[in-house]
Structure 1
Amino acid sequence: MPDSAQTYTDLRSVEQYRKLLRNLHTLNASESHATLVRMLEGLLASPLGPEEQLEVLESARQTITFVQHEMSSRYAAHPLPPDSQEDATLRQVVRLWTALSTAYARLAEGGSGSDEFRAQWPLLAQRRIQYLGQVIIEYFRAHRAEPPGAWKAVHAAFLEAERAGVTHSRVIDPLNNTWKAQSPDEAYIALLLVDLTNPYGRNQRELNWICRWAQRFAPYCIMQTNWEKDDARAYGLDLTEDHGLRPVALIGSRPGMRRFDGHRLAAQIKAMLAEFKQGTTPASLGLGDDCSQPACARLLVSLYRPWGMSAAGRRFPRRSKKGSNKICTDWEAISLLVSGRDFVPPNRRQALGSRYDINMITFGARADDDIPDFIDPEVEVQKRGFALDEWQTVDHSVSGFRVQRKHPGQRIEHHQMVGIKPSDGSQYLLGQVSWLMYEPDGTLMAGIHLLAGLPTAVAVRTTGVNVSSQDPYAQGFLLPEIAAMRAPATIVLPGGWFHADRVVELHDGEPRQIRLTSLVARGTNFDQATYEHVSTTSRAASSAA
């Protein structure tokens, strides 16, 4: 392993640096990473000239990208608390991206006197913006709030490229999977596109796809300095602020503001979705060999409006509100909290056979079949070892809550269904986790989107030729139609149950059958679908067939 104190300022040729890079394969990821940081931080103090330093940087890019991916995979699967073991890994990854962007920036300053080296300005600007953007993306990946000044640094690099007149100059970039080239403004737009996708609400795979697609689609977008009319639904950018794009209606028109135009991208996405319907694979459209259907199509559909159309106005206004919410993540416990009683399958004579054995011992005197309500379901849930966490409300709307938790609690995941009871509510509602983010002080922030309607717990099981009357029932939930919110009646089933036209047996006092019609939402542990009732005549005809 290299000496930890070594800075590599004694390396005197490009070939010596390349040899160092080639030897990294003998080290593990952590050792390789530490070596790369020391190499970059010592490079600009070396006797090499600007052209040679640039050659070293370009030679190192692919290796750096690979090692950074290996390191970041340690924390990308779940939101990373600031005091966790892998927090140091995040800091190391950010340090290397920062060192790389700084190296390119200093080359632009140090080599500015050479007319020949000025030809490299577009490349230096593109690389600097790209790696400053990677710092922000790394915080998205870890589900941590971006550090103060991160966005301002990217804006400043873009403005410098603009003043130099090189923003539209494309340079070769072998790491760009689709185009193998990129301009400084395309690198800038790619970061803005990622930020528009609710990155704190994405899992590891989705964010990887989004980052790749942002590179692919950036050339179809433009940042306008002048436009004919002000569209309040458009996205705008104030380069003096420490954030990305915001709806113009939210920030207002300001001097020097830029306007984002993605209408050409909207046409591209529509064309791709049409290709999917014809059976075209995502890989053949340049989306990546690891992109699978239908997950790829669902993600692309969700990006259509923020990327290609306009800022969606908030359907229901948010209001500040203080108070606490009780949140539960376990499916069985949620059912108990919603119904106030134990879940007992309708075919309980088989499921609870031992209970009926008691009837024989007592000479036929039947035990009470009624399932009593619990006086306090929350006490019963905790008595059984299920977690019930308290979250503080930050603000809320009709469609959901923004909540925070300052203390450790049960693990909560993106797109997971939870049971939630607000402090001013008397019953548990169903919600889906739409995003998660840790603040620097360790506070976990979450967005909870409510599934419209007051849930009713029911028993469900699939039907078909391979299903017998002895097969077990699972727990599900019915949600009524809410006309005022344009929300149809739906059923919430365990994850993976939805298939269009699947017939499900539903038991909520009386058995009946329903046919699933369309998928409303799919999370990590649930499917929410619309349905229609299957008539007795239809069932009889189907059985006869």
Structure 2
Amino acid sequence: MTDSPQTYTDLRSVEQYRKLLRNLHTLNATESHATLVRMLEGLLASPLGPEEQLEVLESARQTITFVQHEMSSRYAAHPLPPDSAEDATLRQVVRLWTALSTAYARLSEGGSGTDEFRAQWPLLAQRRIQYLGQVIIEYFRAHRAEPPGAWKSVHAAFIEAERAGVSHSRVIDPLNNTWKAQSPDEAYIALLLVDLTNPYGRNQRELNWICRWAQRFAPYCIMQSTWEKDDARAYGLDLSEDHGLRPIALIGSRPGMRRFDGHRLAAQIKAMLAEFKQGTTPASLGLGDDCSQPACARLLVSLYRPWGMSAAGRRFPRRSKKGSNKICTEWDGIGLLVSGQEFIPPNRRQTMGSRYDMNVITFGARVDNEVMPVMDPEVEAVRRGYNIDEWATVDHSVSGFRLQRKHAGQRIEHHQLVGIKPSDGNQYLLGQVSWLMYEPDGTLMAGIHLLAGLPSTVAVRGTGVNVGSHEPYLQGFLLPEITAMRAPATIVLPGGWFHADRVLELHNGASRQVRLTTLVARGTNFDQATYENIVS
């Protein structure tokens, strides 16, 4: 099917529209999407009355949601640069959400229809807010900065619902997985909840869960227009601004401000976490059949404070700073840059076997396990094929950096371990990617959370009856205790290595055994854990 100027204004009955929707199963996602856009954009120019137009919109919602999901999955796995091949897909998805919200909005304009149809205003308001919110969520999904005016459009729709006196009126919504109903203010609060979760720091699965849970938990939150005392730690919202909730301490009290109250939600999350400890499944708590433990519990714990408590004050203030940072994302490259030398397993002779003996015959005997430092680790890293990118500093604090990169570079992912050397530093540190976002001009913004302490490399391997002397060592990192930051000594291991009470053999000059105790952080390619030494 080719894209054409047809907008289906010749369809003259609800049944004709339903037939069009039924026939979409013969098309691929792209063709179905183009058809739905043309159908919606032509609907309000059709001879159908308001009641019939609303019936068409309601009939199309499930199909639209499915097709939109299929389209957005093309770019949701990784941050989407503005000049990428799937940038057009994002624009198409946004166009359809916008057309849907516009269609519902126009049905409520000018008091059209009968008194009976005016009873549908709560539904029209809820749908309009929901789909304006989906525009913003789509940019979260693509890790792209929201377009100017996107938040103001949602605020304006919420204000109109309040003025019409329908903001608290619940309407049937079959697409709401938990409640099968939602009010306009619950649709609004659900979007605000998603925005509070650091959406640019979430992967595809996490963001899908968060969006679903926001719908589930929105009824436990309220937006207050008046409150007894000012709480600087609370979140507030200025409806004239083009953004979501902000700490009141940051934006200050203003006339007409709303205050977010999620204390009831805090109790709900605590109760759910207690249920998890009793073995209750996420699905039985209404979190979704695809939610698995322990990932589900970890994510819910991370949402407890922003959703249910208050705005966490920044532990370390941010400061503007000019300069550049060098970043490496490859595990072995990070080790070389941190230690200044090539990683050589302590049992290299055993693992090489006859190859080691041939080297001795060919090149002469040399000290086993001898590690030679390199003259310039960065030059050596590049020579070995490891990429080192330059990132400009936007601002920084003791705990991390906000950086930007205007040029193409190595691929970088959420929750990934990176090696980073600030322009005023002389040693590489370890950091975790906390969030990523593309600006409209293609600039990639990133938040890097520093792992406390100066890292050192260590050789590590498992222990047990099935582990022999030929078991290879892999490279890990040790981070010392930092008392001033209340940071315990930790070990950073390849991803998936952490199991509570697992015993590992470490080698950094001498061999010793440690027992892993608590998981501190888990990223896409690493586990960070506390440990205790085993005294033999």
TM-score (structure 2 length as normaliser)? 0.98
| CA gap 1:368/1:171 in 2 versus in 1, 3 angstroms | closer
CA distance in structure 2 between the aligned counterparts of 1:95 and 1:57, rounded to whole angstroms: 16
CA distance in structure 2 between the aligned counterparts of 1:487 and 1:345, rounded to whole angstroms: 29
Equivalences for residues 368-517 of structure 1 within 5 A: 370-517=370-517
Aligned residue for 2:131? Answer: 131
Quote how far apart the aligned CAs of 1:110 are.
4.6
CA distance in structure 2 between the aligned counterparts of 1:450 and 1:429, rounded to whole angstroms: 7
Aligned residue for 1:264? Answer: 264
Residues 1:115 and 2:115 are matched in the alignment = yes
Give the partner amino acid of 2:308.
Answer: G
CA distance in structure 1 between the aligned counterparts of 2:367 and 2:16, rounded to whole angstroms: 85
Q: What is the aligned-residue RMSD (CA, Å)?
A: 1.2
Q: Is the 8 A contact 1:336 1:381 kept in 2?
A: yes
Aligned residue for 1:225? Answer: 225
Deviations 1:247-286, CA, capped at 9 Å, x for gaps: 0000000000000000000000000001111111100000
CA distance in structure 1 between the aligned counterparts of 2:419 and 2:44, rounded to whole angstroms: 55
CA distance in structure 2 between the aligned counterparts of 1:151 and 1:376, rounded to whole angstroms: 49
Q: Is the 8 A contact 1:327 1:418 kept in 2?
A: yes
Deviations 1:158-206, CA, capped at 9 Å, x for gaps: 0000000000000000000000000000000000000000000000000
| CA gap 1:468/1:242 in 2 versus in 1, 3 angstroms | same
Aligned residue for 2:83? Answer: 83
Q: Is the 8 A contact 2:348 2:369 kept in 1?
A: no
Q: Is the 8 A contact 1:340 1:373 kept in 2?
A: yes
Aligned residue for 2:322? Answer: 322
Equivalences for residues 22-421 of structure 1 within 5 A: 22-112=22-112, 114-353=114-353, 354-360=355-361, 366=366, 370-421=370-421
Quote how far apart the aligned CAs of 1:371 are.
1.8
Q: Percent identity?
A: 87
Report how many residues are paired: 535
CA distance in structure 2 between the aligned counterparts of 1:58 and 1:266, rounded to whole angstroms: 34
Q: Is the 8 A contact 1:452 1:482 kept in 2?
A: yes
CA distance in structure 2 between the aligned counterparts of 1:369 and 1:40, rounded to whole angstroms: 70
CA distance in structure 2 between the aligned counterparts of 1:338 and 1:361, rounded to whole angstroms: 32
Residue 437 of structure 1 aligns to a residue in which SS? strand
CA distance in structure 2 between the aligned counterparts of 1:326 and 1:210, rounded to whole angstroms: 33
Residue 119 of structure 2 aligns to a residue in which SS? helix
Q: Is the 8 A contact 1:359 1:367 kept in 2?
A: no
CA distance in structure 1 between the aligned counterparts of 2:3 and 2:177, rounded to whole angstroms: 36
CA distance in structure 2 between the aligned counterparts of 1:3 and 1:476, rounded to whole angstroms: 54
Residue 197 of structure 2 aligns to a residue in which SS? coil
Aligned residue for 1:539? Answer: none
Quote how far apart the aligned CAs of 1:349 are.
1.4
Give the partner amino acid of 1:93.
Answer: V
Deviations 1:458-501, CA, capped at 9 Å, x for gaps: 00001111111110000000000001111000000000000111
CA distance in structure 2 between the aligned counterparts of 1:451 and 1:284, rounded to whole angstroms: 36
Q: Is the 8 A contact 1:111 1:117 kept in 2?
A: no
Quote how far apart the aligned CAs of 1:372 are.
1.3
| CA gap 1:77/1:377 in 2 versus in 1, 3 angstroms | same
CA distance in structure 2 between the aligned counterparts of 1:500 and 1:535, rounded to whole angstroms: 18
Residue 401 of structure 2 aligns to a residue in which SS? strand
CA distance in structure 1 between the aligned counterparts of 2:451 and 2:31, rounded to whole angstroms: 47
Q: Is the 8 A contact 2:136 2:150 kept in 1?
A: yes
CA distance in structure 2 between the aligned counterparts of 1:452 and 1:340, rounded to whole angstroms: 20
Quote how far apart the aligned CAs of 1:366 are.
4.1
Quote how far apart the aligned CAs of 1:114 are.
2.8
| CA gap 1:151/1:305 in 2 versus in 1, 3 angstroms | same
| CA gap 1:6/1:429 in 2 versus in 1, 3 angstroms | same
CA distance in structure 2 between the aligned counterparts of 1:495 and 1:142, rounded to whole angstroms: 25
CA distance in structure 1 between the aligned counterparts of 2:447 and 2:337, rounded to whole angstroms: 21
Mean CA deviation greater in 341-350 or 229-238: 341-350
CA distance in structure 1 between the aligned counterparts of 2:369 and 2:37, rounded to whole angstroms: 69
Point out 4+ residue stretches in structure 1 off by more than 6 angstroms. Answer: none
CA distance in structure 2 between the aligned counterparts of 1:95 and 1:369, rounded to whole angstroms: 61
Mark the runs of 5 or more structure 2 residues left unpaired by the alignment.
none
CA distance in structure 1 between the aligned counterparts of 2:71 and 2:3, rounded to whole angstroms: 21
CA distance in structure 2 between the aligned counterparts of 1:382 and 1:443, rounded to whole angstroms: 24
Deviations 1:485-541, CA, capped at 9 Å, x for gaps: 1100000000000011101101010000000000000000000000000011xxxxx
CA distance in structure 2 between the aligned counterparts of 1:191 and 1:369, rounded to whole angstroms: 57
Q: Is the 8 A contact 1:50 1:111 kept in 2?
A: no
Quote how far apart the aligned CAs of 1:359 are.
3.8
Deviations 1:416-449, CA, capped at 9 Å, x for gaps: 0000000000000000000000000000000000
CA distance in structure 2 between the aligned counterparts of 1:132 and 1:437, rounded to whole angstroms: 20
Mark the runs of 5 or more structure 1 residues left unpaired by the alignment.
537-545
CA distance in structure 1 between the aligned counterparts of 2:329 and 2:90, rounded to whole angstroms: 28
Residue 459 of structure 1 aligns to a residue in which SS? strand
Deviations 1:266-320, CA, capped at 9 Å, x for gaps: 0000000011111111000000000001000000000000000000000000000
CA distance in structure 2 between the aligned counterparts of 1:151 and 1:224, rounded to whole angstroms: 19
